[in-house]
Each structure stands twice: as C-alpha cells, then as structure tokens.
Structure 1
C-alpha cells in the first residue's frame, strides 16, 4: 500500500476529483490510501435528489459547498472537524466487503482507547453511537472504499445544512442527534487533534518506519483540476443529476392564494401549473410556458424572471416573493 498526499487541500470539489483521478487514471497494482479534510460542505450520494437533502438557502448564505460524489448512500456533512479516508484498489473483488477496509481504522481507534466496531453493513459505532459512515464505488477494473470519521464535527451546522429548510432546528434536535452520533474527540481518553488522529492511522497502517508514498507530478494535478472543472464544479452534476421529483408549494398573499405544482427532471422544470384565486390581466399559462426548461435553482429562476412583469398575471406580486413560493 502507498500513501498519496493531497497537499492539505480542503476544497471538496478538488478532493473528490483527486479521488476519482486515483481511481480512473493511476493504474497501480498496490492499494493507495488517501486522507482529506473538507471545508464545510454537504456531500450528496450519487443517486440522491440534492434539493430534498439540503436547506438551499442556508447552505448558500453560509457558503457551504454542495457536491455530489460518485458513490451511493446518503448525504453527509463535512467540515474541518471531519477526517475522510479512501482506499483505492486494483480489482473489485472486495466490493461490498466493508470490513476489510474499516478493520485498520477500527484497530487504531481501539488502540487509542475508543472501542469502535463495525455494525450493519458499513457504519462504525462506539457504544451505540455512530462515528463513521462508509461507501464504495467501482469501475470495471478498480474500486475505492471511502468513509468519514466524525472527529470534532459541528453537529448543529450539520443539522441546519442537511435538513430541508422548512424544518425548524431547535436545541432539542441537536441533543437528539448527539444521542445517536458522536465525535471521536469526546470519546478519547486524552485529547488529540485531527492531525494527531491521521498520524496515528498512518502509523497503524504502515508501521513506525518510512511511509511509502505515491507522488503526483504537475501534469497529474492539471488533470485533477480538469476533472473538478468537468464534474464537481458543475451545477449539472451536483444538482442537475437529481432524479425526477415533484414540488407542491402554496401560500396566501394579498392578491389571493397561489398554488404551484412543479415537475422537475434532470434539475430543470419540466412542467409547472399555477392555481389559485388571484386575478391578473394575462393568462398565467404564458408565465408557466416561460418557466419550462429553467433550472430549478434560485439564481436561475431569478434570472429567468428578471424581465417578467408578474403584476400582469397576479396583480401586485414582487419577483422575490414569487421565487420564495416556487423555491
């Protein structure tokens, strides 16, 4: 096995591109090990509907990255208190064998005084509280098994970022999630930093001698940047790849009730119907037709309605108010 240094990068778009590059373009017979720590971000599972997993207003206001990963599973929140590991291997005979890849992590945690264990198919627990989730992805010839380690994660921010915005977060919700998940730092018999934990994992996996490394050159990094640009920095991947879904929103305004029924496919409005007891000078069908094909995203909806006089359809209606209804 060889360790691959990510050079202290905290951008999740680049770290996921780095992982994909090792998977698809580094034909190493030896397994590769990657660690990375991301800035605040929500990492969406490959098959998830992004909008249903996050509070889009909150993540935008707090500059939280939203990035879709290659592997399946659920949405997870990352910040600088979350250590991520990835084992990239030649062949895929160990696909679904999470025990093989989590074993060295469990062993090191136990040596540090944290009685971790694999429960279910892919999660690590300590005394009934979850500290790690894991997922895998395979190509025809290679695979990776990656996981998160909650070391000192901000659980309050996690709840606000990955809950739908209509869910009001209260202190009791944070208390409730603390009964199910745990930060490793609070379980350690002596205090450590996240860097100390990574160093302990490296020693546990490679021993006390020199750590064998796989070094990347400038051309490798250019290709990693290209993958980030082509996939992980693209709205079409992070949001647009969401499966088809339906949205129903309604609200009452001074001009009357407005009920919106929206079909979204590949991240874009495929169909929309507006109902209500409002009264306008023009048929609302015109407005519906104008919105067909628009990405279901606040900024793109705002741009699409920038030159539209909504008063023609509803009476008095501000664009921001209408967008709040749709989104």
Structure 2
C-alpha cells in the first residue's frame, strides 16, 4: 500500500485528486489517502443537487457544493470531518463491499475504547447513531472506496445545510438527520484532535510496516489534478447540472437506495429522461438514459430496453422490476 499525503482543504481539489490517482497511478495495487475539506456539501454522482441542499443557507454561509464520482447520498464536511480513500485493484467488482473497507475505522476506534459497528448498506455507527457514510466507484477492475467520518463536525450546520427527503428520514425511523448522527469525539475517553485521529488511522493502515511508504505528487501530477479540477469539479455543469423539462415524475425508495425519474413524453414517445437517486452502481447513468430516447412509453417497450441493460451493474441491489416501477 502507498500513502499520498495531502493537506489541501478545497473539496474541488480533493475530489479531482481522488479521480486522478484512481485513473492515472496504475503502477500501485493499493493507495491510501486522508483529507479534510473546508465547509462543503458533497453530493452523490446521481443526485439532483438542488433537491439535496438548502440553497439559501449554503449561499449565506459560503458552503461549497461539489459532486463526487461515487453514488450514495449527500454529506456535509467541515474541518472536524476526516475523509479516507482506499483505491484498490480488485478482481471482483460486481458487488459493492462496504463492510470490508470499513474495518480499519472500526478497529482504530476499538483501540480507543469505542465500539463501532457496520450498519445498513453503507454506514458505521456508535450506539445506533451514524458517524461515517461510505461510497464506492468501480471501473476496469479497480475500486475507489471513500468514507466521510464525523469527528468533531458542527452538527447544527450539518442539519441546516442538508435537505434530506422525508422518505429517507422515515426509512431510518428518526425525526431528522441531526437526530441520527453523532461525532466520534463525543464518545472518546481521552480528548484528542482530528489530526491525532488522522495519525492513528494512518499508522493502523500501515501496521507491521517499518515505515509508511509514501508517493510524493510531482509537478506534472499537480498540473493534471488542477486541470481536472478546473474542467470538472469547479464547474456548475458538473456540480449542479440542468434539470430537464418533464411531464412525468416517479420516485421510489428501496432498501438499496432511492430511484427517481423525470421523463418527457410527447405523443407517447420518450423524448428525454433523467434518473436521479442515492443508489450505488457502476458506469455512467447517462448510458442507461440514452437507451430510452425515442422508445414508446409502453410497459412492453420499456421492458425490452431493460432486458438489454445490466441492471445490477448500474443499480446495485435493485431489480429490473423495481426500475420498471420507477419509469411507468
């Protein structure tokens, strides 16, 4: 495993760094990153950004909004939040294995006397309250796994900045997003900082090694990361995107995540379709959307299209019939 040190706090840079490392540093089998963002909301790849954030509050408080490569739901980051990334070459990329990648965090907390548990599809909890959400991105035999840990995050701001849908809150059996999350620091016997915790996690990841093997980013690396940041992660098109015209809207929440569709149908023909949600999956969801353009808005026609799509790849844990119910 290789460690890449990064002290930049800009979410646009950090997400560009992740993608660059994933796409370009293929000489390493495993890469580990730790990073801290300034106040930001990081939205899942397939989410409708405007529906996930309190836009007025975001603007008033200068909070960044940036879309990541992986699926899942929106999360709030600040200087009390610690993010970790594991990039690994994997022969088995057909299923999203969140629990295995979450073990290092659980083990470090156990050393500190805190019992943490993997819960649901992608959470790590303490006493039933979430402090870490995980997400993954897969491509060409590699997996990018990242987790966002609430160490000493301002939970009041988190509650105001995120606009979590009612159906998600109800599915968790709680009254608000604020009531279902907790900070690691509130459960520790000793008073340590997020930087202390960062060091403990780093040392744990390289346990047994005499020293941490580090890859230092070159000037060329930085130039490429900055270019990617400017062309993707700092753009309105990537982070927000335009919401299409539609005359049919359907939405359902499944155990594996929410799927929402906005469909533009004229004279019985699908002219446009946009699929949103906090589901996990590989590939580009636009590849799925494009297959419906020009198709008759009829159950048999839509079924034929879905038969030619690897549903499990694009929508992990969601069936063809589930997707059908979100379209027609």
TM-score over 0.5 for the pair: yes
Residue ranges of structure 2 left out of the alignment (5+ in a row): 165-173, 248-261, 265-271, 273-328
SS of aligned partner of 2:86: strand
SS of aligned partner of 1:108: helix
SS of aligned partner of 1:58: helix
- 1:63-82 maps to which residues of 2 (within 5 A)? 63-82=62-81
SS of aligned partner of 2:21: helix
Q: Distance in 2 between matches of 1:89 and 1:119?
A: 23
Residues 92 and 158 (structure 1), Cα distance of their counterparts in 2 relative to 1, 3 Å cut: farther
Residue-by-residue CA offset, 1:9-30 (whole Å, 9 max, x unaligned): 0000000000000110110342
User: 1:56 corresponds to which residue?
Assistant: 55
User: 1:102 corresponds to which residue?
Assistant: 102
Q: Distance in 2 between matches of 1:163 and 1:201?
A: 31
SS of aligned partner of 1:85: strand
1:235 counterpart = 2:236: yes
SS of aligned partner of 1:57: helix
- 1:81-120 maps to which residues of 2 (within 5 A)? 81-91=80-90, 93=92, 95-120=95-120
SS of aligned partner of 1:198: helix
Deviation at 1:161, TM superposition (A): 1.1
Q: Distance in 2 between matches of 1:159 and 1:242?
A: 25
Deviation at 1:214, TM superposition (A): 1.6
Contact 2:40 2:78 in 1 (8 A): yes
Q: Distance in 1 between matches of 2:213 and 2:8?
A: 20
Q: Distance in 2 between matches of 1:29 and 1:91?
A: 12
SS of aligned partner of 2:200: helix
Residue-by-residue CA offset, 1:47-70 (whole Å, 9 max, x unaligned): 111111111121112110000001
1:150 counterpart = 2:150: yes
User: 1:216 corresponds to which residue?
Assistant: 217
Deviation at 1:143, TM superposition (A): 1.7
User: 1:323 corresponds to which residue?
Assistant: none
- 1:104-183 maps to which residues of 2 (within 5 A)? 104-163=104-163, 177-183=177-183
Q: Distance in 2 between matches of 1:243 and 1:91?
A: 36
Contact 1:92 1:143 in 2 (8 A): no
Q: Distance in 2 between matches of 1:107 and 1:32?
A: 19
SS of aligned partner of 1:39: coil
Compare relative contact order (CA 8 Å, sep 6+) and give the higher one, 1 or 2: 2
TM-score, normalized by length of structure 2? 0.69
Deviation at 1:107, TM superposition (A): 0.6
- Greater C-alpha radius of gyration: 1
Contact 1:48 1:243 in 2 (8 A): no
1:38 counterpart = 2:37: yes
TM-score, normalized by length of structure 1? 0.69
Q: Distance in 2 between matches of 1:77 and 1:212?
A: 31
Q: Distance in 2 between matches of 1:28 and 1:73?
A: 28
User: 2:324 corresponds to which residue?
Assistant: none
Deviation at 1:157, TM superposition (A): 0.6
Contact 2:16 2:225 in 1 (8 A): yes
Residue ranges of structure 1 left out of the alignment (5+ in a row): 165-173, 247-262, 271-327
Residue-by-residue CA offset, 1:125-184 (whole Å, 9 max, x unaligned): 1111111000000112322010011001111111111128xxxxxxxxx99545421100
Q: Distance in 1 between matches of 2:102 and 2:132?
A: 10
Question: For the aligned residues, what is the CA RMSD?
Answer: 2.7
Q: Moved runs in structure 1, 4+ residues, more than 6 A? A: 243-246
Q: Distance in 2 between matches of 1:55 and 1:244?
A: 22
Residues 121 and 177 (structure 1), Cα distance of their counterparts in 2 relative to 1, 3 Å cut: closer
SS of aligned partner of 1:9: coil
Aligned length: 243
User: 1:255 corresponds to which residue?
Assistant: none
